[in-house]
Amino acid sequence: MKKFDLHVHTVPTISDSQFDFHFETLKEYVTLLHIDCIAITNHNIFDLSQFRYISENLDILVLPGIEINLEGGHLLLIANSDELIDFNLKCNEISKLIQSADDCITVSQLKQIFVNMSNYLLIPHYEKKPILKATTIQALRQYINAGEVNSVKKFQYCLKDNTCLTPVYFSDIRIKDGLLNFPTRQTYMDVDEITLPAIKICLQDKLKVSLSKEDGNKLFQVLPNGLQISTGLTVILGNRSSGKTHTLNEISREIENVKYVKQFQLLETDQDKDKRNFEALLSKKQSSVSEDFLKEFKDVVDDVKEIDLSKYKKDIDSYLVSLLKNASEVEKADIFSKTCLFNESLFLLADLENLKKLVDSVINLIENTMYRDIINKYVSVEELKQLAVELMKKYISEKERNLKKTWMNNIITNIKDSLKMRTAATIIPDIDLYKIMFDKAKILSFFKVTRLIQSDRKIHEKNMFSFKIEAHAKKFGGAGELKSYSGKKIAFSDAFLKYENPYYYLQELKLIDLIAPTEYYKYFVKIDYAIMNEHNFPVSGGERSEFNLLNAINDAMQYDMLLLDEPESSFDNLFLQNSVNEMIKHISKTIPVVIITHNNTVGASIKPDYIVYTKKNVTSGNVVYQIFSGYPTNKQLKSLDGETISNYQIILNCLEAGTSAYKERENSYEILKN
């Protein structure tokens, strides 16, 4: 097995932040991490002179490569070292085409430049941003065997899924002076002699790639010092202040996208603060419930908020006064006011939105493949196509009529404006009485809808672990509740006086500058969340902490690794055994999990896949943390420098307080039992 990192940057480009290449750092990186082969893959550029210097001064194979912006994603293209001049010329063509970070080339351009694609190793960003599109990968599929991922979690997923490319995990490192932490993102490949053809053949078989040298994909290196952990569940043991948390912190700094639950993080001594934090967390977590419940109501509020009844009243009063005055002046009308167009009404435009939605719906039926059999039972695709065509023709016809009406309305308006400027007669203002009556009907409906949505009832129920989450909708009880909900220093006293009349309440909300117009709908209904225990009672303080831990562990599925520092510090063994262990074991099948523990319920009963033991040594006043590791079945755990220690003694000392204490408790249990 050889160790590869085929994604190394040595030249800053428009796609990077500025850095200065430092050869000694590169040399230290490949030496410290025992890397057998690297590829230099700078963004859209190949520096021939620099590559030659690196290749001649490193004791490992260095391959020439380039990372190309290809149709919105990134592609690593790696060549043989014996074709440097030709490769350099081709890379120069890429550099000419890509002048900014947003530029990219097409597959066609890529093939035109590199011609014989089978001469190269192509590795797309696969489960790593910016991801190369599936259609682009398909266009190059005959030349692609592997895809780059950005986490152990995704590496494992692609390894198990037969439809995925062979995963590779590389550093994507920028080699610069002062680099303190070297990434441990490398891939082992089962090759003997390292050549480009050998690598390409190897990547055709997922069984020939792994994350560690000896244990394949069971282990992977997590720290630059050589520490390996399981791709499943690792338990860290050790005495107090022996470096356990230090090791966990180092892992957290090294690995991206980690869920880290620190010791006592979820335990709040201030009960009132704990309750407030818990309710805020719950409300945030369940905000989607509120959004779903109020989704249609938001549209109603948005439709009504622009209706101004006071303006309508003024417009109607002005219209009636003008109408009466104009009628009284009929005998005095001049040549301008007597024209037919002087008081002509404008053409009303047809609302085509519903017709457009209808066309979209029919097209959706035509294009649907999932439920094609059911659709065909009642209507054929041919009939749907005919319907779509007829509806489109109707839409075009109505759209044309609207355009003609708009054109005529512009002419009428211009003529009316010209006539009004030349007459002394009273002008009757334009008014859309139909729209006014329609909007008043909307307000009546708004009143009814608001009353329905404010009715006190349960709107959501969901089981999570041994708990149940409930959401209830009801009216706000006062201005104080509105202020508390807003989370801002806003006075709601005036607004709440109108709360029973939804329309006038909405007008008051519009006067409050600190409330965004898109948020008005949220202030009509109060939604309370509650968590009930298995006996259907509200949770206690201790149960809140239990829920927080389970929720934090469950959320880890969105991350690439879960780190837990002594979860037993806040919980009883029965809860740990029945709830926490089960969930951790389940999650460890998907992402790596690392736990620090002193508790045998977690440390032993959970049956870890791998054990790490930390030991603090003080030499000449300096603290040195020594790390041992191995499988739970190993008699000896081995340190990074080759020293061994008894696994049996570690387990007894860390989880059972030593052999004598363990036997004493065992005897006590037997006495109680008998």
pLDDT > 90 fraction of the chain, expressed in percent and rounded: 62
pLDDT of residue 250: 93
pLDDT of residue 208: 92
Instruction: Round to whole Å and give the CA distance between 39 and 296.
Output: 55
* 420-438: average pLDDT: 87
Report yes or no: 166 and 147 within 8 Å, Cβ to Cβ. Answer: yes
Q: Lowest mean pLDDT: which of 122-131, 481-490, 580-589?
A: 580-589
Report yes or no: 255 and 656 within 8 Å, Cβ to Cβ. Answer: no
Structure tokens at 533: 């225990």
Cα 53 to chain centroid, rounded: 42
Give the pairing type, strands 146-149 and 166-169.
parallel
Identify which has the larger pLDDT, 580 or 665: 580
pLDDT tens across 179-222, in order? 878 999 999 999 989 999 999 999 999 999 999 988 888 999 99
pTM above 0.75, yes or no: no
pLDDT tens across 135-165, in order? 999 999 999 989 999 999 999 999 999 899 9
pLDDT of residue 272: 65
Task: Check whether 604 has a pLDDT greater than 80.
Answer: no
Return mean pLDDT, the chain. Answer: 88
Task: Check whether 669 has a pLDDT greater than 50.
Answer: no
Instruction: Round to whole Å and give the CA distance between 45 and 561.
Output: 34
What burial letters (b/e) apply to 334-358, b meaning 16+ CB within 10 Å?
A: eeebeeeebeeeeeeeeeeeebeee
* 578-601: average pLDDT: 80
Identify which has the larger pLDDT, 1 or 123: 123
pLDDT of residue 601: 52
**Residue recorded with tokens 């695709």:** 381
Identify which has the larger pLDDT, 613 or 535: 613
pLDDT tens across 26-36, in order? 999 999 999 99
